[in-house]
């Protein structure tokens, strides 16, 4: 496929001012002062010994979400949603605009509240731009050029599974493309690997690009992590964790997403850091340095640089995998030491979810919504061979973190708590690239063992398809999924309640596989993790105004939780991390990143459920959007539907009239 040229959106002075203000605001005030950044940038540009300065380009907005307070806004301001500006191949930053469709849907969700009490925070996860969809479907999206097009980037570390280096380099600013220092980290260690051959060949053409191979001790393990770590000439750093390979087709017409840290400044003076609670920036820094240490000396220079930067503005938990062996008792113990262990794969996820449960008990100790049965939607692009024992272990962790994880007590997983979104052959055929997109979507459906596994999962399988409710459509049903998300809703999305609140959400490179998440080996009493994976976990309580005062430890939080349970049983809206009267919700948003302002219409809003306490609450409220890539409620498989398998033969033509695999040989 011929490479499409990247187009950069140049902003006029008014637009630049507006964007700068939003980008430099921070949830907790730890981001470098905007005036300081502008002054540094101006000083640097004036020192460059060339006749012209780099063109000003739109910068991708930091997605540790920025607070938006509705207090000072005119009620008429949101009467008509702001229309997205025209765009084709580059993503405009629309984090502060709303689509009318999402506005209507979300107003029904949250009802009416005084405008003075509401803060709106855009989604921490951003979808990537889809080349062949209209601008109305690309509101708030981000392109690869938005990530790499900053002319001040001096060094880029790029971790991924598969690379087209020549294509990748076209997304750096043309003025720096030939001298920006690029380090490519991959896992293709075999000399006859096509990926390794192509990378090594490209490195000979690009003298500023070097490659390194991650050590994979297991033949079934892969280097599947997808991450950028960027350093700029004005002494800033950024971490971007995403789901796309470094291939044109992944960034063109396939559904992907990214989490972007804020621009991280250097630490000031002799600031001594101590890792905080799970979810804080200091803990995130601790965990990402531990992850990078798994690469050994190949990432030593990177770790030494990253140590110098201030991560306190970050909100999110790093959930990663590296090839490792973890002793089984370490994930079942409840001692103080568990918070300090290096855990990978599903033990790492379990620990983080236990922390979330603790926080949510403190913020909502008597909220009746917490008594609903949570429902987890696993949306993935690959389903590996999964033994029943592994599914019992993994799925139970997702919807019931309080359940013991020892092999002797795990019960059979309950399909009523789990939905798995994976496309059918019809879904793939109808996508923008047709069957061509199916090469990146994997499961096996040929042998008796494969068919038995599919039969066991059938009650939980859902299509990647257009939903029945227009107001809760994500606008991505035509873009085949390579994204991987795990979202825990307060209840199962249904026709009656299609958009329940979100308890937690994970964006990751990890599909449903033992290699990615780890598998318990009872004989050795250990959990074996075989692959490199990386993701970010978020939840509502992260965005409380006073979340996790610096210096608090995880065990301090446990003690605090016990006191809160004892003292605040009647304070259903209190939080240990912010205002004692602060209500925090994470809600699904569709076709844009920011939750809609609360309804100001004089007409009555739909009444909340009788068991809801929202109508009793009059204090400040924070709404965090979570950009959903699929339509709600979900579309189940039909009785004759099967999962897409690239090993299958499909004679039904796709949208381009091609059949699989005969027209792709």
Instruction: Please give the backbone phi and psi of residue 204, each rounded to the nearest 5 degrees, phi first.
Output: -70, -30
Note whether 362 and 540 are within 8 A (CB).
Answer: no
CB burial class (10 A; 0-12, 13-18, 19+) of residue 577?
buried
Q: How far apart are CA 144 and CA 128, in angstroms?
A: 8
Q: Is 213 helix (H, G, I), strand (E, B) or coil?
A: strand
Nearest alpha carbon to residue 393 among 484, 539, 512: 512
Q: 359 in helix, strand or coil?
A: helix
- Angstrom CA distances, 246 to 8, 169, 207, 484, 604, stand at 19, 10, 19, 16, 50
- Quick one: 661 exposed, middle or buried, by C-beta within 10 A (0-12, 13-18, 19+)? middle
**525 labeled binding residue:** no
Active-site residue numbers? 224, 482
**Residue 226 annotated as lining a ligand binding site:** yes
Sort strands 181-186 and 209-213 into parallel, antiparallel or unpaired. Answer: parallel
Burial of 561 (0-12, 13-18, 19+ CB in 10 A): middle
| Closest by CA position to 260, among listed 632, 10, 593 | 593
CA–CA separation, 89 and 583 (whole Å): 38
**CA torsion sign, 458 to 464 to 470 to 472?**
positive
Q: In this structure, what token pair is assigned to residue 312?
A: 């306190």
Measured in degrees and rounded to the nearest 5, phi and psi for residue 6 equal: -85, 140
**Which candidate, 492, 435, 489, 454, places its Cα nearest to that of 655?**
435
**Which residue ranges are tagged as binding site?**
226, 484
Feature table: binding site for substrate: 226, 484
């Amino acid at each position: 496929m011929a490479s499409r040229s990247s187009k950069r959106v140049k902003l006029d002075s008014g637009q630049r001012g507006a964007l700068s203000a939003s980008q430099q605001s921070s949830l907790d005030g730890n981001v470098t002062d905007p005036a300081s950044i502008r002054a540094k940038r101006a000083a640097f540009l004036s020192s460059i010994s060339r006749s012209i300065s780099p063109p000003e380009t739109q910068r991708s907005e930091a997605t540790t979400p920025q607070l938006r307070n509705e207090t000072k806004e005119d009620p008429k301001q949101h009467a008509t949603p702001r229309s997205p500006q025209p765009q084709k191949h580059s993503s405009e930053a629309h984090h502060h605009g709303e689509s009318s469709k999402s506005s209507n849907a979300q107003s029904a969700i949250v009802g009416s509240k005084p405008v003075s009490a509401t803060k709106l925070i855009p989604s921490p996860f951003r979808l990537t731009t889809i080349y062949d969809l209209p601008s109305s479907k690309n509101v708030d999206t981000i392109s690869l050029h938005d990530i790499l097009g900053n002319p001040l980037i001096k060094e880029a570390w790029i971790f991924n599974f598969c690379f087209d280096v020549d294509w990748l380099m076209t997304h750096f600013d043309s003025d720096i493309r030939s001298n920006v220092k690029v380090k490519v980290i991959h896992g293709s260690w075999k000399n006859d690997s096509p990926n390794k051959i192509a990378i090594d060949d490209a490195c000979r053409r690009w003298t500023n690009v070097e490659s390194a191979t991650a050590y994979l001790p297991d033949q079934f393990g892969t280097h599947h992590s997808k991450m950028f770590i960027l350093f700029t000439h004005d002494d800033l750093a950024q971490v971007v964790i995403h789901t796309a390979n470094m291939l044109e087709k992944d960034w063109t017409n396939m559904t992907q997403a990214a989490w972007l840290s804020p621009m991280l400044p250097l630490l000031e003076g002799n600031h001594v850091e101590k890792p905080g609670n799970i979810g804080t920036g200091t803990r995130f820094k601790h965990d990402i340095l531990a992850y990078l240490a798994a690469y050994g000396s190949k990432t030593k220079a990177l770790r030494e640089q990253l140590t110098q930067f201030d991560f306190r503005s970050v909100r999110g938990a790093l959930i990663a995998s590296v090839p490792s062996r973890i002793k089984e008792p370490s994930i079942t113990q409840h001692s103080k030491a568990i918070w300090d262990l290096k855990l990978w794969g599903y033990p790492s996820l379990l620990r983080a979810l236990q922390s979330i449960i603790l926080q949510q008990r403190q913020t909502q100790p008597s909220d009746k919504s917490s008594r609903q049965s949570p429902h987890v939607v696993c949306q993935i692009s690959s389903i590996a061979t999964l033994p029943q024992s592994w599914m019992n272990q993994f799925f139970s962790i997702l919807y019931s973190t309080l359940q013991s994880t020892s092999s002797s007590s795990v019960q059979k997983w309950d399909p009523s708590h789990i939905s798995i979104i994976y496309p059918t052959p019809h879904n793939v055929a109808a996508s923008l690239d047709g069957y061509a997109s199916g090469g990146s979507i994997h499961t096996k459906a040929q042998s008796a063992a494969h068919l038995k596994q599919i039969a066991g999962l059938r009650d939980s399988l859902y299509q990647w398809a257009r939903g029945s409710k227009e107001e809760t459509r994500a606008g991505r049903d035509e873009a085949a999924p390579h994204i991987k998300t795990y979202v825990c809703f307060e209840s199962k999305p249904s026709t009656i309640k299609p958009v329940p609140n979100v308890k937690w959400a994970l964006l990751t490179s990890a599909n449903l596989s033992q290699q990615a998440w780890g598998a318990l080996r009872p004989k050795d009493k250990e959990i074996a993790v075989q692959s490199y994976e990386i993701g970010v976990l978020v939840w509502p309580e992260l965005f409380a105004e006073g979340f996790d005062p610096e210096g608090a430890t995880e065990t301090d939080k446990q003690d605090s939780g016990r006191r809160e349970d004892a003292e605040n049983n009647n304070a259903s809206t209190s939080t240990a991390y912010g205002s004692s009267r602060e209500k925090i919700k994470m809600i699904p948003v569709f076709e844009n990143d920011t939750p809609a302002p609360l309804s100001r219409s004089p007409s009555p809003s739909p009444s909340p459920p009788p068991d809801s306490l929202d109508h009793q609450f009059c204090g400040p409220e924070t709404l965090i959007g979570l950009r959903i890539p699929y339509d709600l409620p979900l579309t189940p498989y039909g009785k004759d539907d099967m999962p897409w398998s690239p090993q299958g033969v499909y004679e039904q033509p796709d949208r381009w009239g091609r059949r699989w695999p005969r027209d792709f040989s």
